[in-house]
């Protein structure tokens, strides 16, 4: 659970009142397409790690499972949006962030503790990269 909270802190977006589910992926602008995907992933992970279904063990596990799904799926989603039309600085940052998300999610599934050095390192790297992506997407 602590790791899920850490993931939430990592990817929480300053503005989570945006509407997701519109065709943002259809943009012909490569930067907009990748930046929209990044915002979508940040929102998904934020929502799933911040969900509160109560203190019951099954509810806690459900929240953790959805957080892992959002983390792993988010990494794959971002990687699938990269192509040769995306600038190399943005593509490199998004690929690094997405790969870290995948490793964080797999670490969670493998039972890594919140204070596991590899998970902590990945979280720190992902936070730094997320900040960089936000700057590149401005």
* Pair 78, 101: CB distance under 8 Å: yes
Chain segment 61-74, per-residue pLDDT in tens: 999 999 999 999 99
Given this model, what pLDDT does residue 28 score? 86
What pTM was estimated for this model as a whole?
0.80
Encoding tokens for residue 17? 């009142």
Cα–Cα distance for residue pair 70/44, rounded to 1 Å: 6
Q: Is the pLDDT of residue 19 over 50?
A: no
Chain segment 99-125, per-residue pLDDT in tens: 999 999 999 999 999 899 999 999 999
């Amino acid at each position: 659970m602590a790791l899920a909270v850490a993931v939430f802190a990592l990817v929480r977006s300053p503005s989570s009142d945006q509407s997701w589910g519109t065709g943002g992926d259809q943009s012909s602008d490569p930067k907009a397409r990748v930046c929209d995907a990044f915002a979508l992933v940040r929102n998904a992970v934020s929502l799933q790690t911040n969900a509160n279904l109560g203190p019951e063990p099954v509810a806690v596990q459900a929240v953790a499972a959805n957080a892992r799904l959002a983390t792993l799926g988010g990494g794959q989603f971002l990687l699938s949006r990269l192509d040769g039309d995306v600038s190399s600085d943005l593509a490199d940052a998004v690929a690094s962030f997405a790969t870290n998300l995948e490793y964080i999610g797999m670490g969670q599934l493998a039972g890594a503790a919140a204070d596991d050095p590899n998970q902590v390192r990945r979280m720190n790297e992902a936070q730094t990269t997320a900040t960089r992506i936000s700057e590149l997407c401005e």
